[in-house]
Structure 1
Amino acid sequence: MTTTVESAHALDPLFRPASVAVVGVSTSPTSPGARTFANLVRHFDGEVFGVNPAEPEIEGRRLSASLTAIGEPPDLVVIATPAESVLDILTEAGELGVKAAIVLSAGFAEAGEEGRRLQGLLAETARRHGMALIGPNSMGMISRPNSLFATFTNAVQEANAGGRVAVVGQSGGMAAIIYTICLAHGVGVDYLVALGNESATSLGEVVEWMMRPESGVDAVLGFVESLSGWDELAAAARMAAESQKVIAFCRAGRSQLGAAAAGSHIGAVAGDEKVLADLAAAGGIVEAATLDDLLDIAKARHVARPMRGRRVGVVTASGGAGSLFADLMTSAGLDLPELSPELQKKVFEVIPWFGSATNPVDTTAFIQSRPEEFCAVAGILAASGEVDAVMVFLGTLDPIAPRLVRSLTEIAARHPAVPVVVTWGGGSKRFKEELWRAGVATFDDPDRAVQALVGLAPARRVAAATGPVNAPSPFLDPLPGELTGGRSTVTLNEHDVRRLLEAAGLPVPAGALAADADRAVAIAAEIQGEVVLKLIAPGLEHKSDIGGVVVGVSGADEVRRQAERLFALGREHGSAVDGVLVEQRAPAGIELVCGVRRDRVAGPVVVVGLGGVLTEIIGEMAVRAAPLTRGDALDALEQLFAGRLLNHHRGLGPAAAEAVADLLVRLGDIIAATDRLVELECNPVIVSEAGALICDGLAVVGGDPDDSSTGRFLQ
């Protein structure tokens, strides 16, 4: 008899097993092993085996003494034994050819150094045998289409007719709460995966499987504390965008305390908050601030089709509500297009002349006497082809509520490709429930209604797949090997960084390092025109704070005087002065910071923001995965200051924007192909219509390639 599922994907044995064994089925009915075994026996259509070397049977079901004693290996093994025995059991499973395992046992990375060591051995064992591994410290999982309830949670007792929703999270408790909240609101859930400590199989790998057509999933809802498996997660986001699906995460660990709590809870390594938030958004992943946001997305997807674009038409009888929706939708990245003159004319054929037919449409209070005509405006917008969804705002209108419900239901049925979402503040609950039953998503709060639209809308722009970088970069070649080959990191001074940038063909001002004042005068004479003098000394990262930078120096006498002052300044600060860097003064322009770094979770990333002394004061940055395309780079610039950096008349012109985009692409290529480059900060990069010029820089090199920078310029 064959119990093994035919697998086309590495995670198929996890989600679609034909047989399951539970190791650690105890005689205590409340133990995780016994409860998981009972859930499987009750629900699973395939073969279920129990393993306990000390008990031959439990409640009339025969148990095996070991996995080997079962005979033919099962597809999936669930381990619920003390932590110290898990490695031996997982090793036995791997040697038998088992391809998927779930470890419910706790006491690993979340418990200290020895636990981290044991967890590392579990991961190594799983990789060696090609096993998918969920956990340790997992609550288990549910794959309802396959009748698989491999979990000890009581959530499996909830009535679940199933749906095209999956729930995933490192925290089993939070994942179970989302699962039960969805079921309580009539949203069926097909999959629940509690990842636990993610020793081997990552969040990204699980979500990528869920985005495959054969899963049947349209929406993935997650409570996550670490965005692990970023490459697979980015691929899943692209799959979601291509197939009109949605991935939405409520993410903990966004503060320092939250990150510390995540570490103690699941042993997670939290990446930089800004990096993860930006990369998720650039990938088209929806960030939900609350569990209610996740629920609202699931409910809206349950009754409405996805939007074809991000254009929303708003219909309201309150000008104030229209203003509120305009603010909320702009903040959410949704578009409120101005309606065409032809469409406005059609609207004015229905609403009073003193109303407003722009977007939002303000019908005024005529809704009280003519509710059907008010609703007809929503139908006009839905039929126009100028919007992808219609938001309708209603107040306390119970006397005419039945007429509103009937009209809105008819409009939604007539235009199924354009979702109609209703915000009904103060109305009776029963009328809202009628709209839900009719397939019209209805909310009490405007903010929640807008969040639901975000879950229906396609991503504005999904970052392109990065692809492999085949050849190592020669970027660090100009440096001595002792600087880049050690196990500890080294911070390079500006002159060394300048050498690297210059050798890589990146734009830097003309200049050179002077060992004394005479050489400074000679370099300035070669440059001609005004120069900038900079003190170069070990450990001096912020030269301007001590007067170590002089701008706009001209004439031999002044160059000599300032150079001598800088050499003396370095000696006063106890530094072994490397020299004074003499550079051509850059033209006036906008100062940016452009850089790259390695994030602990996301890997190499590119960063851009406002530069100079404003970098730390304002602190607004955009982050993208490296390597990146020119389109990704321009999208990052568009993100800054709500697009004003590109679109304001005093912002970057087209040529300057292209120059910055080219620089960001080059920097991304460099860090993606240079594993010994930990961080490179170019600040300021002075940008004008003449191009982009890197006027200062710092770099961190060497060290363990698996180590990550603290990301000074992202803090």
Structure 2
Amino acid sequence: MGQEYMRLFFEPETVALIGASGNKLKPGYNLFYNLNYSFGENFYAIHPSQAEIEGKKCYKSILEVPGKIDLAIIFISAQLVPSALRQCAEKGIKAVIIESAGFSEVGEEGERLTQECLKIASETGIRLWGPNCMGLLNVSKMKIMSFMNPGMWKERLISGKVSLVVQSGMLSAGFLMHILTRTPFGLSKVCSIGNKIDIDETELLDYFITDPETEVIAMYLESIKQGRRFFELAKSTEKPIVILKGGRTEFGIQSAKSHTSALAQDDKVLDSAFRQAGVIRVLGMNELLDVARCLSVSPHKVLSKARIAVLTFSGGAGVVTSDDLYEQGMEIAKLKPETLDRLQKVFPEWMAPSNPVDLYPAMEKQGPLKAFGDALSAVLDDEGVDAVFLHIFAPPIEIPIYNFDAMGEMMKRHNKPIVSWVMGHGTTALKFTQELEKRGIAVVDEISKGVRILSALLMRK
């Protein structure tokens, strides 16, 4: 598929909606509002009986719309979709998003409608996105081609580096709500592909690999249609790819089949292919978003063995971290003598520093600002350290404990990832998280999550 087709989906100049609604309680209104907001006078609403919606002229048929249309979005009953597709073909439209449900996922009649739509598309050269999906968002251009409620995205979306592909429709909305209301991070594109009867994850991967606005690719998939091509593409790019694959078990396979008519695939074979292609496989939805977010804000590289320095306020937390690092195939860095000498200067004379670096005694002697700052500088300067796992305690009162600006500057200067586990008072922890992430330092709320992030940042695992 040529990139010109994908541009019709992601960067159309003119868009028509077949299925516009003036009823604010219906998803068809959300689509109308979003498209009108995104495209203004270059958006055309189609409704067989309404003359206008909120002052916007409605056309009875897409054939009445003047001029060329780059993209049509269909949101009507599944039985009416083939007829609408034929009108799109007659109008010369080459890209169509079908957001309606009621196709292969519902049984024989839905499968018949699917095949009819595919036949029309094949005969007329139309490319189809969906059906049974929520469409797409081009966040960098603020083009919202989805029936997502405007209250979910307006004044919340942040343009960034992550492109997200979700086979499920409502799950894409759930992901977005989580991203926008919990730990916001920047998005480039968000794609809900549903039954993917034509446009699929492999074509999207091909597009995102060359998309200058995408640096991290995250996907939730229930099946992979063009497996060999998909893994060839994944292996060819330096952009990190993070995948949550649904349908790992017999129960999951049956659920996926009824959800998006996904075909069963051998999970062990897929797992091996993921590893060979350098794809980061995750097993949970929060993990998918956490890994993608951290890859988008932190330096990352591909190492055969990752050596980690741990700076902690608790010896016990250091022990737990050491175990988790070992289980993820990483190791506690062996600090050089000169690094240990620098650390000794902030430690009391009776305690010899080691890695993990328990900074509590140093904090009592020097104060937290100097103890953390000097220790972080020392371990980052060590050539035997690939990354730092920083444990940060958030007290219930606001006192100057950490120099966040200095942390960010040191990370950039050394080009080594810093991952921070923040625990303690909820309000202070949230403020610390915001300060750290503004400076490109990934933040987690559990030690095991931080270790998981380090393995993704350093080993693509």
| Whole-angstrom distance in 2 between the partners of 1:131 and 1:339 | 61
Q: 1:368/1:346 Cα in 2 relative to 1: closer, same or farther (>3 Å)? A: closer
Confirm whether residue 289 of structure 1 aligns to residue 287 of structure 2. no
Counterpart in the other structure of 1:328? 324
Q: 1:351/1:278 Cα in 2 relative to 1: closer, same or farther (>3 Å)? A: farther
Could you give the per-residue CA deviations for residues 125-181 of structure 1, whole angstroms, max 9, x where no partner exists? 434444332111111211123332111111333522322222221111111111122
Confirm whether residue 17 of structure 1 aligns to residue 12 of structure 2. yes
| Whole-angstrom distance in 2 between the partners of 1:453 and 1:41 | 43
Q: 1:195/1:421 Cα in 2 relative to 1: closer, same or farther (>3 Å)? A: same
Counterpart in the other structure of 2:449? 448
Structure 1 runs not aligned, ≥5 long: 1-6, 461-715
Given the alignment, which residue of 37, 42, 45 partners 1:50?
A: 45
| Preserved CA contact (<8 Å) 1:126 1:200 | no
Runs of 4 or more above 6 Å deviation: none
Could you give the per-residue CA deviations for residues 505-531 of structure 1, whole angstroms, max 9, x where no partner exists? xxxxxxxxxxxxxxxxxxxxxxxxxxx
Could you give the per-residue CA deviations for residues 197-247 of structure 1, whole angstroms, max 9, x where no partner exists? 111111222233223233x1222333322233334532453355x2xx432
Q: 1:293/1:158 Cα in 2 relative to 1: closer, same or farther (>3 Å)? A: farther
Which residue type is aligned with residue 168 of structure 2?
Answer: S
SS at match of 1:187: coil
SS at match of 1:120: helix
Q: 1:380/1:32 Cα in 2 relative to 1: closer, same or farther (>3 Å)? A: same
SS at match of 1:190: strand
Q: Aligned-pair distance for 1:345? A: 4.7
Counterpart in the other structure of 1:258? 252
Confirm whether residue 190 of structure 1 aligns to residue 188 of structure 2. yes
| Preserved CA contact (<8 Å) 2:162 2:189 | yes
| Whole-angstrom distance in 2 between the partners of 1:341 and 1:132 | 63
SS at match of 1:191: strand
Q: 1:20/1:251 Cα in 2 relative to 1: closer, same or farther (>3 Å)? A: same
SS at match of 1:198: coil
Which residue type is aligned with residue 200 of structure 1?
Answer: D
| Whole-angstrom distance in 2 between the partners of 1:262 and 1:445 | 30
Q: 1:323/1:270 Cα in 2 relative to 1: closer, same or farther (>3 Å)? A: farther
Confirm whether residue 234 of structure 1 aligns to residue 231 of structure 2. yes
Q: Map of 1:435-584 to 2, 5 A cutoff? A: 436-438=434-436, 439=439, 440-457=441-458, 459=460
Q: 1:13/1:231 Cα in 2 relative to 1: closer, same or farther (>3 Å)? A: farther
Q: 1:392/1:260 Cα in 2 relative to 1: closer, same or farther (>3 Å)? A: same
| Preserved CA contact (<8 Å) 2:3 2:207 | no
Q: Aligned-pair distance for 1:452? A: 2.9
| Whole-angstrom distance in 2 between the partners of 1:182 and 1:37 | 24
Q: 1:332/1:59 Cα in 2 relative to 1: closer, same or farther (>3 Å)? A: same
Q: Which has the larger displacement, 166-175 or 385-394?
A: 385-394
Q: Map of 1:383-402 to 2, 5 A cutoff? A: 383-395=381-393, 402=399
Q: Aligned-pair distance for 1:374? A: 4.2
Which residue type is aligned with residue 374 of structure 2?
Answer: A
| Preserved CA contact (<8 Å) 2:215 2:296 | no
Which residue type is aligned with residue 111 of structure 1?
Answer: V
Q: Which has the higher contact order (CA 8 A, sep 6+)?
A: 2
| Whole-angstrom distance in 2 between the partners of 1:435 and 1:305 | 18
| Whole-angstrom distance in 1 between the partners of 2:218 and 2:41 | 28
| Preserved CA contact (<8 Å) 1:356 1:363 | no
Q: 1:258/1:402 Cα in 2 relative to 1: closer, same or farther (>3 Å)? A: same
Counterpart in the other structure of 1:206? 204
Q: 1:429/1:126 Cα in 2 relative to 1: closer, same or farther (>3 Å)? A: same
Counterpart in the other structure of 1:656? none
Q: 1:21/1:389 Cα in 2 relative to 1: closer, same or farther (>3 Å)? A: same
Given the alignment, which residue of 47, 51, 60 partners 2:55?
A: 60
| Whole-angstrom distance in 1 between the partners of 2:160 and 2:204 | 18
Q: 1:62/1:283 Cα in 2 relative to 1: closer, same or farther (>3 Å)? A: same
Counterpart in the other structure of 1:77? 72
Which residue type is aligned with residue 392 of structure 1?
Answer: L
Q: Aligned-pair distance for 1:263? A: 1.0
Q: Map of 1:634-645 to 2, 5 A cutoff? A: none
Q: 1:411/1:151 Cα in 2 relative to 1: closer, same or farther (>3 Å)? A: closer
Counterpart in the other structure of 2:127? 132
Q: Map of 1:240-251 to 2, 5 A cutoff? A: 240=237, 242=238, 245-251=239-245
Q: Which has the larger displacement, 218-227 or 164-173?
A: 218-227
Could you give the per-residue CA deviations for residues 51-88 of structure 1, whole angstroms, max 9, x where no partner exists? 23334433332222333322434111101121122123
Q: Aligned-pair distance for 1:409? A: 4.0
| Whole-angstrom distance in 1 between the partners of 2:122 and 2:419 | 47
SS at match of 1:50: strand
Which residue type is aligned with residue 377 of structure 1?
Answer: A
Q: Which has the larger displacement, 333-342 or 418-427?
A: 333-342
Structure with greater helix percent: 2
Counterpart in the other structure of 1:646? none
| Whole-angstrom distance in 1 between the partners of 2:244 and 2:281 | 6
Given the alignment, which residue of 167, 172, 194 partners 1:175?
A: 172
Given the alignment, which residue of 30, 34, 51 partners 2:25?
A: 30
Q: 1:354/1:204 Cα in 2 relative to 1: closer, same or farther (>3 Å)? A: farther
Q: 1:157/1:405 Cα in 2 relative to 1: closer, same or farther (>3 Å)? A: same
| Preserved CA contact (<8 Å) 1:355 1:364 | no
| Whole-angstrom distance in 2 between the partners of 1:26 and 1:92 | 20
| Whole-angstrom distance in 2 between the partners of 1:350 and 1:369 | 7
Could you give the per-residue CA deviations for residues 308-360 of structure 1, whole angstroms, max 9, x where no partner exists? 64443222344432332233233334454433455445444544677676543
Given the alignment, which residue of 92, 109, 116 partners 2:111?
A: 116
Q: Map of 1:654-665 to 2, 5 A cutoff? A: none
Q: 1:92/1:330 Cα in 2 relative to 1: closer, same or farther (>3 Å)? A: farther
| Whole-angstrom distance in 2 between the partners of 1:293 and 1:366 | 34
Q: TM-score normalized by structure 2?
A: 0.86
| Preserved CA contact (<8 Å) 2:15 2:44 | yes
Q: 1:269/1:122 Cα in 2 relative to 1: closer, same or farther (>3 Å)? A: same
Which residue type is aligned with residue 238 of structure 1?
Answer: K
Q: Aligned-pair distance for 1:274? A: 1.9
Q: 1:158/1:412 Cα in 2 relative to 1: closer, same or farther (>3 Å)? A: closer
Could you give the per-residue CA deviations for residues 416-435 of structure 1, whole angstroms, max 9, x where no partner exists? 12222221333554255235
Counterpart in the other structure of 1:225? 222
| Preserved CA contact (<8 Å) 1:346 1:380 | yes
| Whole-angstrom distance in 2 between the partners of 1:75 and 1:291 | 34
| Preserved CA contact (<8 Å) 1:127 1:200 | no
Given the alignment, which residue of 157, 173, 180 partners 1:160?
A: 157
Q: Which has the larger displacement, 345-354 or 284-293?
A: 345-354
Q: 1:317/1:57 Cα in 2 relative to 1: closer, same or farther (>3 Å)? A: closer
| Preserved CA contact (<8 Å) 1:23 1:33 | no
Structure 2 runs not aligned, ≥5 long: none
| Whole-angstrom distance in 2 between the partners of 1:397 and 1:20 | 52
The root-mean-square deviation of aligned C-alpha atoms, in Å, is 2.9
> If you compute each CA radius of gyration, which structure gives the higher value, 1 or 2?
1
| Preserved CA contact (<8 Å) 2:359 2:371 | no
| Whole-angstrom distance in 2 between the partners of 1:123 and 1:357 | 67
Counterpart in the other structure of 1:425? 423
SS at match of 1:149: strand
